[in-house]
Structure 1
Amino acid sequence: MHTDTRDRLAPAPTALALRLEGVTKTYGTSSRPVPALRGVDLAIPTGSFTAVMGPSGSGKSTLLHCAAGLDRPTAGRIVLGATEITTLARTALTRFRRDHLGFVFQSYNLLPHLTVAQNITLPLLLAGRPVDAAWFDAVTRAVGLADLTARRPQELSGGQQQRAAIARALINRPDAVFCDEPTGALDSRTGRQVLELLRRTAGELGQTVVMVTHDPVAASYADRVLFLADGQLVGSLDAPDAQGIADRMTHLGEW
């Protein structure tokens, strides 16, 4: 019986890639606290593409940063894969992020003196882990860079550079890939191509993608959209379309 390459290469699934339980984040002082997240409960299945939306100041970036271990919550539990990251010491948390998570930001953060291949495999080099040639080939094919891996970042278009950043985020077979406005620096056509790639990343490579965006069109590529207002989850939309998302966003201020 024929086995699809992506079936052999994709990480073994678990029920949930990410779980938040009662997550609270407060800034400021004890006398003048500024709540950013207020008891957020959330479960994201493995292999799904989830978008997080909300008005400015709703807490969506704070949610992403806490979920990804870039910031610590004031209270609550965060479990990524099988690991509760809220109990990890700083060094262990840094190592966990390096080995188990992927990040894609608006800026590509590629090193100009390295080739595309070297940029993609940099997380493995830093972790002292070998490159799985079959997985590298699968990832670079998936992002459309298989013939461009010997080039330097400055020889790529903006969209190609973001594709390289996505490949770098996937190379360590992460428990989840976190994206913060990944198409914000791209024109609309290139942005659509990157969003289609993220969609395929979840569907074909079995990766879990969590994306913060302000754009209803971008969010419509996700399986599910979560809506935040005043630091709390106030709704969700499955199999969303851009108009439905925009309508829901319009009424968030009435929450």
Structure 2
Amino acid sequence: MPDVAVRLDGVTKTYGKGESSVAALRDVSVALYRGSFVAVMGPSGSGKSTFMHCAAGLDRPTSGSVHLGDIELSKLREPKLTELRRERIGFVFQAFNLLPSLTAEQNVTLPMRMAGRGADKAWLREVLARVGLTDRATHRPAQLSGGQQQRVAIARALITRPDLVFADEPTGALDTRTGREVLQLLRQVVSDLGQTVVMVTHDPIAASYADQVLFLADGRFVGQLEAPSAEQIAEWMTHLEPSDDGSER
């Protein structure tokens, strides 16, 4: 059996109290495996963002448990949880979140410097080469295209050799061609480097790059597809209804 990268057991996340409370996740249990590319989809209000936040240790579930490998995140105090996220989890967001005063290479190595460690020079060269930035390493974000900035963000997510990478709508700010290049890059880091990627997306074409697509509706996983086409994913999505309030959670 393949190793489990992250596992949720009976996770419920509720916001608010009493009659105004909203359950964003409802008794979710799922295991995501190392070396896989998983897309999480669902309509607005389905719980996609809350799932990612709980799975990545950015938010604590109201009940249930989250394990990163053999570590239960809910048992960690905030300083240890922060350290674990910095060293064992990579993040790629729709907004690139680069520091404008730093070069591409300095942005990539920022997690290492924050941890008080130097970057492995050989690994840094490989990561920059993998994302196609070898000749842009000394450029600052303002000197890079949107696609190149997202490549810097992906390299930054990979530099610590994390257990897994969470990507939240990573192509949302990019044009179609550039978005396709970024998705191909994420596909390659899974296939070539054995990285684990969990991507939250609303785009069937983006999700079709994944090995597995999980569908959320009203805070519960309601189905999955293995190595699906964009058409199959779009067909699935047409059957999922948004929550009553229509808001993203």
Scaled by the length of structure 2, what TM-score is found?
0.94
CA distance in 2 between partners of 1:141 and 1:250 (Å): 39
**Partner amino acid for 2:120?**
D
CA distance in 1 between partners of 2:205 and 2:98 (Å): 26
CA distance in 1 between partners of 2:182 and 2:45 (Å): 26
1:143 equivalent in structure 2? 131
Displacement of 1:30 in angstroms is 3.3
Contiguous gaps of at least 5 residues in structure 2: 243-249
CA distance in 2 between partners of 1:131 and 1:91 (Å): 22
**Partner amino acid for 1:46?**
R
**Partner amino acid for 2:91?**
F
Q: Does 1:112 align with 2:100?
A: yes
2:41 equivalent in structure 1? 53
Displacement of 1:191 in angstroms is 0.2
Contiguous gaps of at least 5 residues in structure 1: 1-13
Scaled by the length of structure 1, what TM-score is found?
0.92
Displacement of 1:137 in angstroms is 1.3
Q: Does 1:212 align with 2:200?
A: yes
> Cα deviations across residues 175-226 of structure 1 (Å, max 9, x unaligned)?
1101110100000000000000000111111111001000000000000000
CA distance in 2 between partners of 1:84 and 1:149 (Å): 37
1:26-105 paired onto structure 2 within 5 Å: 26-105=14-93
Secondary structure at the counterpart of residue 252 of structure 1: coil
RMSD: 1.4
2:157 equivalent in structure 1? 169
The correspondence for 2:189, drawn from 185, 188, 201, is: 201
Displacement of 1:97 in angstroms is 0.7
The correspondence for 2:119, drawn from 108, 111, 131, is: 131
**Partner amino acid for 2:13?**
K
Displacement of 1:138 in angstroms is 1.3
Q: Does 1:234 align with 2:218?
A: no
Moved over 4 A (4+): none
Secondary structure at the counterpart of residue 62 of structure 1: helix
Q: What is the percent sequence identity of the aligned residues?
A: 63
> Cα deviations across residues 109-145 of structure 1 (Å, max 9, x unaligned)?
1111111110000000000112111111111111111
1:3-14 paired onto structure 2 within 5 Å: none
CA distance in 2 between partners of 1:60 and 1:115 (Å): 32
